[in-house]
Chains A and B, each alone.
Chain A
Amino acid sequence: MPNRKAIVMGLYLLFLFLPIYWLINMSLKTNAEILGGLTFFPENLTFANYVTILTDPSWYSGYINSIIYVTLNTIISLTVALPAAYAFSRYNFLGDKHLFFWLLTNRMAPPAVFALPFFQLYGSIGLFDTHIAVALAHTLFNVPLAVWILEGFMRGVPKEIDETAYIDGYSFPKFFVKIFMPLIASGIGVAAFFCFMFSWVELLLSRTLTATEAKPIAATMTRTIGAAGVDWGVLAAAGVLTIIPGALVIYFVRNYIAKGFALGRV
């Protein structure tokens, strides 16, 4: 039995890794070798494609831009979602169920519907091509998701803890930060992971809302398609480099994922 399980997992992971391996393989080849024929290993190992990217400011500034707006978005989303999720998990109030569903509908809103209105909205208030514009635009789908995840975690914390803290003379903000937040730390970790993930991978909105100053790395990649055709090597190298931040984040939150997934809703 354990062998069969290992084979299934092995095959699945192989399926996940072949396309990524192919990208890495290509990023280490010269264009002549890529177009010359199919090779499973780079014959003339070259790092020239990576050097091109890492020495050109218009390439690496894309990374910095992406990381700035993703971080901003995660902070904004969690800050507003925490109190709201607490309210949903603890209290009945007028219109709470409708409000909750309305929030979720924003997670369902196709970015394509919002691209043009966002462009005009942020243009008219002078925020076009800034990091904060992209961060705010991404709250459209990240805030509802964060509220949803956190509410699930908060429901698992017994209400008696709140009541005891109030009897002990804690004010609400003090109780929330000192006692409640540590209790749902893994939930906050999971919510932050998902906010990071969806903001990092989204391209339609971030591309529409930026021109040069805040252009994300993923949009920079279209530059490889020039007059002389596609520069496959550089394109592949850029792709490999965009995978790295995600891989790092997963590595750091791996214990949270294992624990967090089991406790929460997402």
Chain B
Amino acid sequence: MNKTDNQKAWFLVLPVLLLVAFSAVIPLMTVVNYSVQDTFGNNVFFPAGLEWFRETLQSDRLWGSLGRQLMFSGIILLIQIPLGVYIALNMPKKGVWVSVCLVLMSLPLLIPWNVVGTIWQIFGRVDIGLLGYSLAAIGIDYNYTQDALAAWFTLVLMDVWHWTSLVALLAYAGLQSIPDAYYQAAKIDQASRWSVFRYIELPKMMGVLMIAILLRFMDSFMIYTEPFVVTGGGPGSSTNFLSIDLVNIAIGQLDLGPAAAYSIMYFLVILLISWVFYTVMTNLDRQEGQ
């Protein structure tokens, strides 16, 4: 749609601007402020320059957490996106079952995150949880509080359980917008199932899939509550993701300066990757418009 130039539109945006400025800019400025100061307590601060940034960048802590975080986001995207698309393709297209599937699939999305953690904490326990008990029963040495691999397995499985439905629902919405005529044309051409998917369904889903990838990337990169409840970052620091690490520094140790420097770098990484996604997405939008 071609838009008209109208500078007065700013007045419509003003409420959002003020609200978000209050809840985003002021706190962010506080963080920046802390990141360049040091304190001995009693609210006496003195400038510390870029000391905290240097210290944080040189410590292994940030890099370790960042590596684990990237690996976690990578693994869950690789599982959830294809699985979500596959589920969407298998969903019924019409009838009562559509509503039933939609309602049942949305359920994990609306469970508070610490309850999700609690559910899997219980479910994975070897003594009282079904998953842990069954795995132990078939002879797999599984204990997520002791073994790093088992902890990772639990967290990835939990995230797949929690969020695949979101990807599936988005992909399903994309599929629903394809007119029947496309499928009829494909039938006349005797196109195989694979080429229907490759040349009709996938291109039409591209827009919503990019949104799904962006949302899943952002949220998995900020994940805190669920792994905190299940593993608390352990065993050792094997599941210590960025947010858990940051909260430990900021609230656990009350090291405001390093925590602030950590925060800013954390935010910048998310911003950079999201900006790349966003640019790709708007380019796709534009191509579709042409």
Contacts and interface: CB of A to CB of B under 8 A. Distances in A.
Interface of A: 4-5, 8-9, 12-13, 15-20, 22-23, 26, 34-35, 38, 76, 79-81, 83-84, 86-94, 96, 99, 101, 103-118, 120-121, 136-137, 139-140, 143-144, 147, 155, 159, 197, 200-204, 217-219, 221, 232, 235-236, 239, 242-243, 245-247, 249-251, 254-255, 257-258, 261-262, 264-266
A109 B267 contact: yes
Contact of B107 (A20, A111, A116, A140): A20
Contact of B22 (A104, A136, A249): A136
B27 A19 contact: no
Interface stretch (B9-17, B48-56, B180-188, B194-202): B9-17
Contacts of B172: 261
Given A16-B107, A258-B99, A242 B19 contact: no
A204 B225 contact: yes
Interface string B239-276: 00011001100110000100100010011001100110
Given A18-B130, A22-B130, A115-B247, A251 B115 contact: no
B138 interface: no
Given A110-B266, A139-B20, A258-B98, A218 B4 contact: no
A242 B172 CA distance: 27
Given A90-B4, A202-B113, A5 B90 contact: yes
A92 B6 contact: yes
A203 B130 contact: no
A87 B1 contact: no
Interface stretch (B70-78, B141-149, B214-222): B214-222
Contacts of B27: 114, 117-118, 121
Contacts of B10: 87, 93-94
A90 B3 contact: yes
Given A13-B104, A242-B115, A265 B211 contact: yes
A103 to B, nearest CB: 7
A144 B169 contact: no
Interface of B: 1, 3-10, 12-13, 15-17, 19-20, 22-24, 26-28, 30-31, 86-87, 90-92, 98-99, 101-115, 118-120, 122-123, 127-131, 133, 161, 165, 169-170, 172-173, 176-177, 207-208, 211, 215, 218, 221-222, 224-225, 242-243, 246-247, 250-251, 256, 259, 263, 266-267, 270-271, 274-275, 278
Contact of A9 (B99, B101, B128, B247): B101
A92 B278 contact: no
A143 B13 contact: no
A13 B105 contact: yes
Contacts of B5: 91-93
Contacts of B3: 89-92
B240 to A, nearest CB: 13
Contact of A254 (B4, B103, B247): B103
A246 B108 CA distance: 9
Given A13-B105, A16-B107, A93-B6, A112 B23 contact: no
Contacts, number: 263
B7 to A, nearest CB: 5
Contacts of B176: 261-262
Contacts of B243: 110-112
8 contacts: A9-B90, A13-B104, A84-B12, A84-B15, A91-B5, A112-B246, A239-B115, A247-B110
B170 A139 contact: no
A105 to B, nearest CB: 6
Nearest to B106: A250
B263 A113 contact: yes
B242 A110 contact: yes
Contacts of B98: 258
B9 A203 contact: no
A87 B31 contact: no
Contact of B31 (A88, A117, A239): A117
Contacts of A18: 123, 130
A34 B173 CA distance: 42
A258 to B, nearest CB: 6
A23 B31 contact: no
B103 A251 contact: yes
Contacts of A204: 224-225, 247
Nearest to A255: B99
B254 to A, nearest CB: 9
B225 A203 contact: yes
Q: Shortest 7 CB-CB distances between A and B: which pairs?
A: A246-B110, A117-B27, A261-B173, A87-B12, A91-B9, A112-B243, A87-B9
